[in-house]
Structure 1
Amino acid sequence: MSDLFDPEPVRWGLRGDPWVWRAMREQLVTLALPPSVGEVERLLKATFDRVVACDLAAESAPWVYREEFAHGGLSSGSVHLDTWRAELLPTLIDRARSQLSG
């Protein structure tokens, strides 16, 4: 699973996003890629929810603040949920789809 996280995106939503990306990679480093895209998607969403302590599907706010991802800067510690929904999780899922079909 950790192969899905390399390379890191060039663009993030807020300053906490790269730290979430890295925490998710760390959580999934020992796991093999599940055999279906649906299973990968469920695993990624569950990992995000656990790492950020937020139900991405249920949370209506565009962003949340998490102290553990605060490492300096104006939006430090802020995780942009909309970017995770629209770009970052879909990127990981597309990478898994490519690996599973190739």
Structure 2
Amino acid sequence: MKGTVAEIFETHPEYWGLTGDPHLWEDLKEFFSNMSLPYSVERFTENFYIFYKLTSGYEIKEGVEHYIPGYDKGGASGGMINSSFWLEKGLPVLTERLEKVNKKYERKKNK
């Protein structure tokens, strides 16, 4: 997945909000695997919000958890995604990584 936005999903966070969050991470990685770098942070953020809504059926909102049946592999929070995790940790980490990888690809392109 070199050369695609999926690169920013290679390293998982140290912790997750709920047990469905790693599944959303992997689905996002797959979704962005067809999008070439560099890729604007604004466009990434917009697509993240759209993907979240299409996946959960809801707008992302601080302090809200959503149940995704396809992510339910058992456990106490099976299938649950935590919007606070995504707003406070997941999305900021991903946009920071995207900014770094964009700079790397811009430098390569300008050589």
Q: Do structure 1's residue 70 and structure 2's residue 72 form an aligned pair?
A: yes
Aligned to 2:92: 90
Q: CA RMSD in A?
A: 1.6
| Structure 2 unpaired stretches of 5+ | 105-111
- For 1:33, what is the secondary structure of its paired residue? coil
TM-score, scaled to structure 1: 0.86
* Correspondence for 2:7: 3
Corresponding position of 2:45? 41
Aligned identity (percent) is 24
CA distance in 2 between counterparts of 1:60 and 1:4 reads 23
Larger radius of gyration: 2
> Runs (4+) of structure 1 moved beyond 3 Å?
none
For residue 31 of structure 2, the aligned residue among 15, 27, 36 is: 27
> Aligned letter for 2:59?
D
SS of 1:64's partner is strand
**1:95 & 1:60 partners in 2: Cα distance?**
22
Query: Across the two proteins, how many residue pairs are aligned to each other?
Result: 100
Which residue is 2:107 aligned to?
Answer: none
| Structure 1 residue 97 displacement after superposition | 0.8
SS in 1 for 2:66: strand
